[in-house]
Amino acid sequence: MRSLPTLAGLPARLNLFAGTLLLAALTACQTPPAAPLARASLQERQVAALVRAGFRLTDGGWALDLDSRILFDTDSDHLGARSQATIARIAQTLIEADIDKLSIEGHTDNTGGESYNLRLSQRRAEAVARAIAEQGIPYANIQQSGLGSAHPVADNSNENGRAQNRRVAIIVPIS
């Protein structure tokens, strides 16, 4: 049986121990991995504020789907008092975190024609954008888009599902 080579004349067992220590030391000295792209444009405190507010990371940015908090009646873009209060709290969280660039997506259920639903979902996005701007985020910094019924989150075959699909999403873009 061949003997293992030794470093500086040390016995093989000590060589193994020294090699393990060297590997551990080199591993500890590695540069930490780069921050994910999603966090690169946001500070840690901003990400923490978004997470606390219920935002989740998506391909398009940090998104808060307001389907359970801000629902619209059928064929309506009106924000009730409860919805306005919810939007005010979210806007204040964003302002305190120094986040002032947003995208708002409006959605509808599948009742009505496609072109009508696109216009209605746009009006819903605009209503939420105006409510956020009233809290202090510049309206010009809030992109709005109406997506109609193209992205349902629930089954449109029943009233409960359709109600969940009449919603908006607030997105903090990743840039």
CATH of the domain at 157: 3.30.1330.60
Same domain, 46 and 106: yes
Domain total in the chain: 2
Q: Are residues 58 and 26 in the same domain?
A: no
- Interior CA angle at 128 toward 162 and 151, to 5°? 35
Verify that 24 and 43 share a domain, yes or no: no
pLDDT of residue 92 exceeding 80, the answer is yes
Give tens-digit pLDDT for 94-141: 999 999 999 999 999 999 999 999 999 999 999 999 999 999 999 999
Based on the fold, state whether residues 8 and 70 are members of the same structural domain.
Answer: no
Q: What separation, in Å, do the N-terminal and C-terminal C-alpha atoms of the chain show? A: 61
Pair (43, 62) in one structural domain? yes
Residues 11 and 44 in one domain: no
Same domain (yes/no): 119, 160? yes
Same domain, 86 and 10: no
Q: What's the whole-number mean pLDDT along residues 51-66?
A: 93
Same domain, 82 and 125: yes
CB atoms within 10 A of CB 114: 12
Rounded Cα gap, residues 74 and 63, in angstroms: 24
The radius of gyration of the chain from alpha carbons, rounded to an integer in Å, stands at 26
Mean pLDDT in residue range 18-31: 50
Segments forming the whole domain that contains residue 129: 37-173
User: Do both 53 and 112 map to the same domain?
Assistant: yes
Mean pLDDT on 36-59 = 85
Is 96 in the same domain as 127? yes
- The pLDDT of 44-56, averaged and rounded, is 96
Same domain, 151 and 71: yes
